Every structure is written in structure tokens, then in C-alpha cells.
Amino acid sequence: MRQPLVSVIVPVYQCRDTVGGALESVFAQSLPAEQVEVIAVDDGSTDGGGELLDELARTHDRLTVLHQPNSGGAGAPRNRGLELASGTFVFFLDADDRLAPEALERMTAMAERNGTDVVLGKQVGTGGRKSPKVFARSIERTHVLDPDCDLFGRMSMAALQLFRRSLVEGAGLRFTEGLVAHEDQLFTAGAYLNAGGVSVLADYDCYYWAAREDGSSATQGAGAPPADLYAIIAQAMRQVADHTEPGETRDRLNRRYLRLEVFGRLDRLYLDSSPDDQKITLAGCRELLEEWYTPAQQELALPLHRVIAHCVLHDLDDELVEVLRFRRSGTRPRLHLEDGRAYVKYPFFRDPAVRIPDACFASPKPLAVRPTLARLAWDDGALMVGGTVLVQDVDEESPAVRLLLTDGDGARRPVECETVPSAPVDDGVEVSFTAALGPRTAPLRNGGWTVQIEVSLSGHVRTLPLVKPRDLPLPRAALAGARLLRPRQERDGGPLALEIGGALTSADFRDVEVGWGPGRRVRVQADAPPVLGDGPAMSVVLHHADDGTTIRAVLEAAPDDPSRMRADLSLAGARPGRWRARFAVDGVGDPVPVRLPAEGGGVLGPVTASLVPPRRVHVKMDRRTATVHVTAPLASLARRTWRRLLPGGGTKPRS
């Protein structure tokens, strides 16, 4: 018989309701049937699962069934399956889970393509079960000993993966027997350490990891007894040491065991354990910490973990309980700031009776600062910027706040803020700030300036982009002397910026209206850009299309609505032709077209603008520009009469 490509090993115990679906997912694989060998090991089931396996074996010649007395965990049946396996690869499938149809084909192809010994296929939790978060992207080939590989610390040690069988046999890998959990710790870690290479298949859901309704899955139970667990973890950490030299790589790999099996289990389980289990747990944790909690591990550990480690190593059992109770209460610890350092105030911080070193409480994280922009408006010659700054987890003093303007060349201009401390808040210290941005508050050259906020407190300085909330309107451009100031935000979530010295656009004149004013003048009204202080004069200018002759009228505040600007243009005596309307600002760029809103348009007139000389006017309006058309009625009449008097009725003879 030809050697199968992959042997699927399924340990079965009290899984009659689910094992059929698990096996059917193997029988339905996209690989040819002769390439898949299935070995199901009944570990003394009493729910009829063994009989169901025998029935399935009679209809599936690639299924081999073994029966054995209950061994107390999945380790022994998996080892029995390994003894019979003949495939190039082996895959371990739990009897309450299932495979996606192309899982084995894709994983074996990835292993063969890259020459790797382990393939971690994407696992998906179902029924509320959580799955490992290591599948952000596929990785064709890596190794846990590579300096840039973080797989060992992020993956699950569950053996629900594809392994090259020559690796398993060559390294002598087997599962720990007689345990309901952690039986695969040494097997999986040993495979990763001994592998020639590892692949991660993240772009296809390979494995559906189920939660059983009654919670009876082995990996959903209470886990191994503390004495057995810490014996396994001690072996696992020594296994890492066997494959590494003292230093960064060893510390990086063993950090997962300290984080999950020492600090994690103390945090989650210690308070609810029996006194005997607590005693065993403390002894096991102390032994691991004494051997593997190096100075580098201490430096990278969380402050909570450092405090826990100190309590364990110095027999501070009562203090450990109080720290864990504080943690379980959900109370967020405050920070103590001092000389540029931050300390997390867990219980016993600077307690002279306990004397836990400050280094245990030291936080390497920067201050958590959350600025909120609430005001952007032109006022008194500047852009007024206001909001609040929250410094999280601090309650001792108020921060200093200022804005920093930075241009593309790296020039920085600080702008001091006025601050007002608010009443205490649950999250920390909050202050309100106000600042004025503009040429009078900081010497700013023309160009774009990004706005940042700098927060200082007890030697800590955080500089962050100042971001406009989506629901806060962005002020329009304004005129300050002969310069245009335009607030900008390039994208949602991007920093606020201030452009200085840019050009006007038609959009800077809003709600444009064109109509007739008194004396049969053309009236142009608009919401013009705000003027900060003594700004330049603004006008409406008509440019003759042929010779560039201009007619100008100053934009002035409308008496009935000071917020709008108005200009009345007299066309008495204007020469005939097309006159294009533009807004002009003295000293600020080129004139821009007078454009009507999208819903505007049409024709105004004609009206008689003057009798001497006779002039008639109509205004054509569209979204491009407003154009004034001037005609001379007597000249038009003379041309029409002359054409009628010409031979042929005014038609030119053909040449």
C-alpha cells in the first residue's frame, strides 16, 4: 500500500455526539482519499462512542480504530496513534472539533513548498471558544529561534497542528500521559524548537475549535493539578535552555511561561485555590522564578508581575493575597510621578513595613494623555483653539500645556496655552486649555504648519498631534493683513494644520447671489472670508473679455445684514461685450471667479442700464462664473439696417 501523505490522529473520550462530525470533516478533505490515513483511539468511552467508531470503520477503509482503558487524558491515545501512523505528516484533531475541506491539502502543500516541519493552520473558535491570535498574516517560513520571530510567545501550545512525522520520531517527541490538560506542552514546544522551519497559514480557516455545551472538553476543564503542572513547566523551560544560550533569545522564549504559567495562573486561580494547592503553587512558582527570572526578565515584566514576583520570592504570602485581591477588584491603580519616572501605586508602594523596592513598581510606559479638541473659531485676530487634556491615572497635580506648530522643514513655534484645572475626574487629571494661533501670536512664515499639543507633568513630556473631531466644524479661511490663513485637516483622524499665505478660491466666498441693485446696477452679495483686524479691501471686478478693461466696486457690509458683503456695479457707459465677474482682495493672490451655488444659474435681465449712451445689460449665471453681457441698442439697430440695405439682403457674395 502506498504511504499516505498525512495521518490524522483523533483521541476519543465521551464524544459520541461530536466524533462523527469530526471524522466526516476528515473524510471530506479535498486530498485524494488514499492520501489520508485516520487513526481514532477510544480512551475507554462509556457513552457508546467506541461502538460508533467501530461502525464507521466498517464503511471507511482508511479509518483504523483502537480501544484502550481510560488513561485520564488525551496524551496516551495520541501516543498510541503515533505508534501506528505511517504518513509523511501527522495531524492531531480533537473529537469535538472539525477541519475545513481544504485544510490538509493547503497545510501539506505549504510544508512541502517551504520544506518546513510544522504548519500552524488558522484556528477559528466556535460556540464562544477563543482561538489564538497569531493569524494576522501568513508566514511561509520562520523559526522560533529567529531574533524577529514572536510566534512562541503568541501561539497556543495545543498540538492541533500539522507536524512532519520524521521530526516527531527524530526528536523522540511524545505527549505526557495521564493529564487532562497541558499534556501537549512538551510535545508542541519540542517540535517548534527542533523543527527545521515553521509555517503559519493564516488566509484560510483550517480548524474549527469548538466549545462543548457541558464544558467537558479536556482543554475546558480545570487543568492539571498544580504539582504536575509546575513539573511540566519546569521541564519546558529547561527544554528551551537546551536549545539556547543564556541571553535575549532564551529570555524571550521563557517569557511566555513566566507570563502565562506563573503570573497568569497566580492572577486567575490562586485566590480560589485550596490551601494545599496554594502551597504547592507558591513552591512551584518560587522554583521557576529563582531559576529563570533573570534581570532582563524583571526589566521587561509588567509592574504587577514584578510586585507579585517579589512577594513570592520573599515569602510575603499575605501581601501577595492583598495584591491579587486589589487586582481582582478592578480598581485601576494610580501613578506616582517623580523626577521623570512613573510608579504604579499597587498595594505596599513605599510601605516602610514591607519594603518592596521602587523598581518593582516602575512603569516603562509613557504617560497616557488624551487631548480633546472642542473649539475652533476665529476671534480677535487669531484662530482660537480650545479643549481639554486628560492625563490618565494621575491625581497629584495639573499638567502644563502648550501647542507646537511645526512646518515641513522642521521649524517649531511654541504657543503657550491658558489652562484651568477642572474638578477631579475618575480617570485622572483633566485641564481645559485655550490658545490663539496666528501671525500675532507666533512668527510664522508662509507654508503649512502642523498643530501638536505638548503636555508636561513632573518631568514627563508627551507631544501628540491635535486632531479635530469629526463633528467639530473646520473654520473657513480668514484674512490677516495681506495673508490668508486656512485651517486644514487632510484626512479623518489626521492632525490639525494651518496653511499660511495660500491662495484664495471661489469657495472662500460662500452663498453668492447676483441680482439688480438700485440705479439698475448689478449687485453681487456674498459671505466673504473673515477679516482679522484691519484687513485688506475686497472688491468685485468686471473684466472685459476682449481688452481687459475693468469695472470695480468695493465689497462693503450690507446694512441689513452685516455678516454679508455687498458690491453694486454701475454699467452706465460700459462698452459692449462680455464682462466676467471676479472677487479681488488687495495684495492677496489673483482675483477668483464669482461662482453661483450649485442650484443657481439662469439669466438676469435684460434691463436698460443707461439711456445716454444707450446700454442694455443681462447677466448669465452658471457654476463656472457669472458673466455680464452689455449691448448697445443703437449700434445693433444700425448694423441690422445696414445689412438689409446691402445688395443681396446683407449676404456676402460667394468667392
Q: Please give the pLDDT value at position 494.
A: 83
**Tell me: the pLDDT tens digits for 294-335?**
999 999 999 999 999 999 999 999 999 999 999 999 999 999
Q: Above 90 in pLDDT, residue 217?
A: no
The cell for 115 is 520544506
Is the pLDDT higher at 158 or at 425?
158
Q: Which residue has the higher pLDDT, 365 or 224?
A: 365
Could you identify the residue written with the cell 452689455? 630
Average the pLDDT over 460-482 and give the result. Answer: 91
- DSSP 8-state class, residue 262: I
E strands of 501-624, at which residues?
510-517, 521-527, 531-532, 538-544, 550-554, 556-558, 561-569, 577-585, 592-593, 602-611, 614-621
- Average pLDDT on 505-534 reads 89
Single out the residue of 223, 229, 217 nearest to residue 181, CA to CA. 223
Across the range 255-267, mean pLDDT stands at 96
**pLDDT above 50 (res 259):** yes
More confident residue, 175 or 626: 175
Long-range contacts of 330-335 (CB under 8 A, 24+ apart): 332/393, 333/393, 334/393, 334/394, 334/395, 334/428, 335/363, 335/367, 335/393, 335/394
Q: What is the C-alpha to C-alpha distance for residues 433 and 416, in angstroms, rounded to an integer?
A: 10
What per-residue confidence (pLDDT) applies to 307? 98
Please check whether residue 177 is in contact with residue 81, taking contact to mean a CB–CB distance below 8 angstroms. no
What are 85-100's pLDDT values in tens digits?
A: 999 999 999 999 999 9
Confidence of residue 424 (pLDDT cuts 50, 70, 90): confident
Q: Which grid coordinates are listed for 322?
A: 492583598
The counts of H helices and E strands in the chain are 16, 34
Which pLDDT band holds residue 131 (cuts at 50, 70, 90)? Answer: confident
Whether residue 14 has pLDDT greater than 50: yes
Average pLDDT over residues 144-172: 95
pLDDT of residue 644: 63
Residue type (1 letter), 455: V
Average pLDDT in the 102-112 region?
98
**428, burial (CB in 10 Å: exposed 0-12, middle 13-18, buried 19+):** buried
Decide if pLDDT at 170 tops 90. Answer: yes
Report pLDDT for 653: 46
Q: How confident is the model at residue 133 (pLDDT cuts 50, 70, 90)?
A: confident
Give the pLDDT of residue 389.
95
pLDDT above 50 for 220 = no
As a whole-number percent, the residues of the chain with pLDDT over 70 amount to: 93
Distance from C-alpha of 328 to C-alpha of 227, rounded to nearest angstrom: 25
Average the pLDDT over 338-351 and give the result.
95
Tell me, what's the pLDDT at 636? 58
Of 67-71, 98-102, 296-300, 444-448, the least confident: 444-448
At 410, list the grid cell: 522642521
Average the pLDDT over each of 69-83, 221-235, 461-475, 583-597 and give the range with the smallest value. 221-235
Give the residue-averaged pLDDT of 506-529: 90
Supply the pLDDT for residue 264.
Answer: 95
422 — pLDDT class (breaks 50, 70, 90) = confident
CA atoms within 13 A on the CB side of 554: 5
Query: Using 50, 70 and 90 to split pLDDT, how confident is the model at 223?
Result: low
* pLDDT for the residue numbered 2: 81
- Whether residue 594 is predicted with pLDDT greater than 80 in this model: the reply is yes
**pLDDT level of residue 119 (50, 70, 90 thresholds):** very high
* pLDDT over 60 (residue 214): no
- What is the pLDDT at residue 641? 58
Its pTM stands at: 0.79
- Identify the pLDDT of residue 219: 38
The mean of the pLDDT values for the chain is 90
433 vs 386: CA distance, rounded Å: 5
Q: What is the DSSP letter of 127?
A: T
Contacts of 482 (CB under 8 A, 6+ apart): 536, 586, 587, 588
Given this model, what pLDDT does residue 548 score? 84
In this predicted structure, what is the pLDDT of residue 221?
A: 44
Distance in angstroms (rounded) separating the CA atoms of residues 7 and 80 = 13
- Top mean pLDDT of 168-172, 216-220, 536-540 is at 168-172
282-293 tens-digit pLDDT: 999 999 999 999
| Angle value at C-alpha 212, between 214 and 258, nearest 5 degrees | 100
